[in-house]
Structure 1
Amino acid sequence: MTSAPVDVLLRRLDPEVPMPDFAHPGDAGCDLMTTEAAELAPGERTVLPTGVSIALPDGYAAFVHPRSGLAARCGVALVNAPGTVDAGYRGEIKVIVVNLDPYAPVRFDRFDRVAQLVVQRVEKVRFHEVAQLPGSARATGGFGSTGGHSASSTGVADGFIAAGSAGSDQD
């Protein structure tokens, strides 16, 4: 069952930038393009403008995700992926990219696709402070707690120092 499309108002800040579009039917993300050329040396990062701003309906947010092809072919990643565009934000959507390739620079030309934008419904929450959280099967396990490649037997759980061990009589 497919729901009706959500209407999102879009303003082109650069009149030549193409409207964001979905490459294939059923795609979750629409392509965002840069309006400025840039070249990044290995390890360098920059902020790329997209030439668009949007007005999302209340109850929605947009998330700027990396493009898998740029990651695989060029080693390009988004520094704060996914970037969050709140419903109340009306400024230009910008993409923070980093070149993770250790040897080769990467070049972006005007109107290169640099990220994808996914619009999602978000729930409003109300926080209630409690002295203790209810138990669960997972408890505090996370970041590799179920084993696999990142599992470690060094006492450093989840890539972080286990709770209670940091700063305890070892300083």
Structure 2
Amino acid sequence: MKRILLFAFGTSFLLIGLVVLFLAVGYFQEPKFHKETSEWLKAEPEDIWNYITDIKDLPNRRKEVVAVKILESKPDGTPTKWLETPDIGGYMIFELKEVIPNRRWKIELTDASFKMRGSWTYLLEPKIPGTLVTVIEDSEITSVPVRGAYVLAGRDATLLKEMELIRNRFSGR
């Protein structure tokens, strides 16, 4: 019986210690984050533009996005505000902030159940033959546990995954 109690207390202290460590990592991590990544792709700016701006297709190309609901659109049907439902639950509301067709596209995360905000800017620069694609993330996570999770997963994981998806779509051309 004494061994069982010692094991239970030891396991409890270990788990509590891991939780405290996890929260400390999130607490001491800078809430704001800025990073950019660029890659040259052998594809036309128009093709890349059509891919990155196709909001309705997000659930088909990003496994973590379960659904997209268009909240507002321009008269031509271009989404200007949409709600994404991630596979872990919750919600994320994005708004279109800047558009220069085939050159610059900026979206902003304006509300999320994860206490996150931020913007992602996509720059397309023709480089014959092909396009230099740059994705810039400026984000902020106010929740200590969410920040801790992002630090453990890689704070730039979303940015790098986005570039990987674009690269994979246009590789082999």
TM-score class normalised by the smaller sequence: under 0.3
Answer 1 or 2: which has greater helix percent.
2
Answer 1 or 2: which has greater strand percent.
2
TM-score, structure 1 normalization: 0.28
